[in-house]
Structure 1
Amino acid sequence: KAFSHSLSKALSGDHSCSKIDKVEQLSRKLKGWAQFYRHTDFTAKVYSKIDRIVFWKLAKWLARKYRCSIKSLMMKWIKRPTPDQAKTWVLFGKSNRGNLCGVSLFRLVSSPKLPFRWRLPESNPYLRDEIRNTVTSRYSDVAMAVSHN
């Protein structure tokens, strides 16, 4: 919830920022989050929720920035970046630094989901098998020898 709230907060204002920089910033956040949580359970459900939030919040942000309908923006800028990826926003334009470039929004649906595997060590590091070289108390042996005087 906190992550989706931070994403929606990033997309709720700052219409002076270029669309390229905004999408690059969002994609960086999404890629880092997907990398961190790819081994958790039920990632597909969470990924689809966050994808939906980001997709539509970006649509509203672009519609507000360019003062046009979401439908016209979707017909113009929603494509598949490569044939094996999900449809997403593919934007072309100038960044705030003046570079002319194209960028696509990272979709969590396209990111890999991996099962978590326990890595068990060969032996328990807390159980010792070797003989210890420390001095051990022999109080019971000494007490027995002294008591037989």
Structure 2
Amino acid sequence: VPLPHRLALVAEIDGVSFYDDSKATNVGAVYSALGGMRQPVVLIAGGRDKGGGYEMLRPLVQEKVRAMVLIGEAREAIAKTFANTTRIIFAEEMDEAVRLAKNMAEKGDAVLLSPACASFDMFKSYSHRGEMFTQAVARIGRQEAQ
């Protein structure tokens, strides 16, 4: 059983797997998460920048990331790093981020919350961010079931 907020599978909806990796508050942790993903990924990332350059993620993003949904203060910096690498869109809050990610994901893909940033610009903690992700995914699951 994975630790909470550490690459935890929270749901599968319409053939899309949703993973909470909110504890990945630095680039190295995101590198590990992406490296372990076998399917194409829609990555939800961003938050408060911790000063770690995002460039080391570029090869994995090119190889595995179908699209990025960026949130928080660092979204502009992250978007600049990955311009011309993958599709990038911005979201204002977690519900919107999850909805946009779900819409861009295809059957067999993973939606991965792996922020590479601290949570304190929008959330109380990384665990609060992960809980907001899980709740947003659950709301989408309920909507899809209707």
**What is the TM-score normalised by the length of structure 2?**
0.30
The structure with more strand, counted as a fraction of residues: 2
- The higher relative CO (CA closer than 8 Å, separation ≥ 6) is in 2
Q: Which structure shows the higher helix fraction?
A: 1
Normalised by the length of structure 1, the TM-score is 0.29
